[in-house]
Every structure is written in structure tokens, then in C-alpha cells.
Copies of this chain bind each other. A is one copy, B any other.
């Protein structure tokens, strides 16, 4: 078959899009440069016959400064194969292709990786054990949401969701590859007949994934991480999550090659993995290990449970993704999840703000926000969603399809995000949870105490501290987390020793509080 050289396209990650330049001398057209953490895309014409997903291997080795990264390619239909690479370092990169198709093998070229443009902080990584930061060191303060099948809705609905997100506080979106509610795009695989199970797992439909990745990119343009969920148990009708091992592997390899270069991509292996009846723990371990081994971009990896916590100490997991509505009603409960996994914890599902008749979908806005605050106090992160739906079944709500937000929690989550961003980097640490102070922050510099639904009229300003540790003086703010006010208290708290374990200011041992729910106090060292 004929092999032509195609113009290579850089990914459109907003300001991260590469400047394209056709090289006059090379046999293969290539962009002259791409920015660090942007997407370099090479496209080849290749075999159209047989099954391109099984019969054709393609990869490209990218090398710079003694480092080589092998990046797998994928078939994009119409005889076009692509390789996407997000260079982790600036400088000159050389590349060479390898393929089972002779016409795509042995091609080579080079490009310049330039400094990232403004707003490009790189991919999010684990930071300081229990937190997240972009590759350039900027803290990533996770305020997540979930719209399971938003990316599979109509163009108009997708646009509406994106418009909503543009003014919302969320910086991570959990989203399914396979539909779970009524959707426009429902066929990731080529259909073979009229029945729901009439599809061929060996024939991926590139159009489905092209459409999906457009949504990933658009989230990236808004500065939102795409937490892409590869399997889920809500689709017994079509059975996309019930494929055989080899089919799962083909799908996983495709997803890795196709989506992995987008710097805002996170992998979630499954939603409620333990409710997928066709897979065992060994299957999940295998798929996660494969993901770790074969993703050259080493994106964040997690798996979400309904009942049985996955063992998040397993080395292929980067952070704990937890479903638990009760664990984030108490800072110590939340913090314990750090002690178990020894990794960052995101409570990705804690029930939802909404009017569902189902108890997991009828939190008040206050209850939704409360969960974020307790999670914060435990040194963890929390996810929102909304189940406000005229049919009260959650399918057509923000949780199911995206669209508009109708709840009262998002402005308060924006306020919380501001509090987080004003706080210590990379995040808030729980402090001496054993001793029931219920404070968090950074010792001897910054403290938060959250009162939840209590309506306190005063609080004893006692901080843990022992002989020889810095006592310091602090200013104190009273934060109304619901009404979104920050009220500074006049003067300072000048700490002195108070018993063997504590500091306080003997001249003002307590602070007066307004006796309302959803208060917090913040102490900042002066």
C-alpha cells in the first residue's frame, strides 16, 4: 500500500500548541518546535487493510540529552497513524520511528522543545507525599467535580458544560470513556448489528475517541484536569466493561497512545471497580500494572471503589481515589486514609448536592461544602457533583450529563479554593490528629480549625507546641465558610507555653465567635 508523509499536527493544548514548521529538507514533515509539556504529534499514512489495531505496531523513540522515551502510536482511521509525545524537558529532541509496517519504520526527525508559555505549568504530579503540584512546582489544590458522561453529549450540551466550568471553581473533572446515562456518542467500537451487544471490540472507532479527546483538550484550555475513567459497572446492556482480557488490553493501549500526551490527563482505571462483576482483583492489578508499564507519560493513576478499598499502597497507584460519604465528616477519618495509602487522598465521591430520592444524591449545599472542609482538615481532597434533576434520578443532572449547575455549593467551593491558595504550599497538613486538636496547616506558621455544624461562641486558642519549639505570634481570622466572609480579629495572639504540650496567649486565651454554623478560624504567623 502507498505510504505518504502527512503534515504533523501539534496538540491544541491552549497556549501549549506547537508552532508548526514544514522542514524543506526532510522526507518527513515535522514541527520545528513544541513547547515543554505541549503535544508533539507525528502522523503517518499506513496500512488500511486487515485490522490496524491488531496487525500494525508503531512507536517512536524520542531522545534528548541522553534520555530516550519510547512512545506508542495509534490508528486514527483512514489509513492514518499518529504518535503523540509531550516532551518533559526543553532542548533538542531527535526521533526515530519503528513499525511492523516497513513504510512507517525508520523515519526520523528532530524538533526543538521550547520553554512553556504562560499558563502552562506542566502535568500534575504528587508533591510532598500527600499533595499535588504541577511539574513547574505550582501547587495544585484539587477541587474536583464529576460529570460522568458529559463528553458524550451533544455539541450544544458539551459547550454548555464548558461554559459552566469556565466560571466554576473546579480544577478536576471525573469523566467516563464509556457512557453510563443517555448520550449522543455511545459507540467506542464499530457496530456489527442492531443489538446493544452488537459491536466488535477489535474494531475501535477512532471518531468516538477523537470526539472524546476534543473534550479533554477543552478542559485543558480551562485549566481543568481530566480524570478519565476507563471502566465502570453501569453498562450491563452494552457490556463495554465486560470485555475479555485481550480486548481490554487493546483498548487500554489505544487510550494510552491516544490520550496520554495531554498534560491535563489523569487515569482512573475504574469507577466502582468492585461492582464490575466480570473482573477480578487480579484483572485490575494487571491492567494497572500494564498502564504503569506502557504509559510513557507516566500520568497519575488511581482506581475508585464502591465497597472494598483497593490497596492503594500498590506501587502502580499514585494516589488514593476513595468513595466514602462518612469519612469526610471528620478530619481524623479523612486523615486515616493517608496513613493507610501513604499517598495523596482524593475523596472522589462523598454523596452529591441534589434532590434525588436516593440518599447518595440529596445533600444540601451546606453538607456538600462541609465535606470539603473536613477533607481539607484531614490533609486530603474532595470531589463535588450535583444531582439536581427534575426526574430525581440523577441521570440528566450535572452528575450524569453536565450542563448547568443549580446548586448552592459551587460559590462556597470557590471561596474554599481561595482559602487553600492563600495557605501553605503544596497543601494543608493535619496536625497531631492523635490528640484531637482538630487543627491543620503548617506547624508554627499557619493553622486552620473548622467547626462544621457546631455554633461556637468562643474557642480556646491553644496550639500544640513543646519546649524549644517556636511560639510565635499570630493574627487570627474568623472565616464564615458559608457566607464567604473573612473577619480579622484585632491584635495578635502572642504564644507562651501552656503545660507540657501546648502554647497559648495568657492575655487572651480564647477568641469570641459569632455562634453560627460553618465557621472556621485561621491563624497566620506574623
B326 near A436 with CB under 8 A, answer: yes
In the assembly, what is the distance between CA of A359 and CA of B499, in Å?
A: 11
Query: Max chain B CB contacts within 10 Å: which of A324, A336, A500?
Result: A336
**Nearest residue in B to A350 (C-beta to C-beta)?**
B434
For A326-343 the 0/1 string (1 means CB < 8 A from B) is 110110110011011010
In the assembly, what is the distance between CA of A136 and CA of B329, in Å?
A: 41
Q: How many copies does the complex hold?
A: 2
In the assembly, what is the distance between CA of A330 and CA of B501, in Å?
A: 23
CB contacts (< 8 Å) of A415 on chain B: these are none
Q: Which of B326, B327, B329, B340 contacts A309 (CB 8 A)?
A: B340
**Nearest residue in B to A357 (C-beta to C-beta)?**
B500
In the assembly, what is the distance between CA of A339 and CA of B433, in Å?
A: 20
For A304-329 the 0/1 string (1 means CB < 8 A from B) is 00001101010000000000111101
CB contacts (< 8 Å) of A336 on chain B: these are 327, 333, 336-337, 340
Give residues of chain A (266-321) contacting chain B, Cβ–Cβ below 8 Å. 308-309, 311, 313
B329 near A436 with CB under 8 A, answer: yes
CB contacts (< 8 Å) of A313 on chain B: these are 311, 313
Q: Which of B311, B330, B357, B500 contacts A333 (CB 8 A)?
A: B330
Give residues of chain A (368-384) contacting chain B, Cβ–Cβ below 8 Å. none
Q: Which of B326, B332, B434, B435 contacts A433 (CB 8 A)?
A: B326
Instruction: Kindly state the interface size class of chain A when it binds its partner.
Output: 20 to 34
How distant is A270 from chain B, measured CB to nearest CB, in Å?
18
How distant is A526 from chain B, measured CB to nearest CB, in Å?
29
A308 near B435 with CB under 8 A, answer: no
Q: Which of B325, B327, B435 contacts A326 (CB 8 A)?
A: B435
11 contacts across the A-B interface (CB closer than 8 A): A308-B339, A308-B342, A309-B339, A309-B340, A325-B434, A326-B433, A330-B330, A333-B333, A333-B336, A336-B336, A357-B500
In the assembly, what is the distance between CA of A340 and CA of B336, in Å?
A: 9
In the assembly, what is the distance between CA of A260 and CA of B245, in Å?
A: 44
Given known contacts A308-B339, A309-B342, A311-B313, what 8 new A-B pairs fall within 8 Å (CB)? A309-B339, A324-B434, A325-B434, A325-B435, A326-B434, A336-B340, A340-B340, A357-B500
In the assembly, what is the distance between CA of A31 and CA of B423, in Å?
A: 73
CB contacts (< 8 Å) of A357 on chain B: these are 500
In the assembly, what is the distance between CA of A313 and CA of B325, in Å?
A: 23
How distant is A234 from chain B, measured CB to nearest CB, in Å?
19
CB contacts (< 8 Å) of A309 on chain B: these are 339-340, 342
In the assembly, what is the distance between CA of A325 and CA of B433, in Å?
A: 9
CB contacts (< 8 Å) of A325 on chain B: these are 434-435
In the assembly, what is the distance between CA of A448 and CA of B500, in Å?
A: 38
**Nearest residue in B to A338 (C-beta to C-beta)?**
B309
Query: Max chain B CB contacts within 10 Å: which of A309, A342, A434?
Result: A434
In the assembly, what is the distance between CA of A327 and CA of B332, in Å?
A: 7
CB contacts (< 8 Å) of A339 on chain B: these are 308-309
CB contacts (< 8 Å) of A359 on chain B: these are 435, 500-501
In the assembly, what is the distance between CA of A104 and CA of B69, in Å?
A: 62
**Nearest residue in B to A432 (C-beta to C-beta)?**
B326
Q: Which 7 A-B pairs have the closest CB atoms?
A: A340-B340, A309-B339, A311-B313, A326-B434, A325-B434, A333-B333, A326-B332
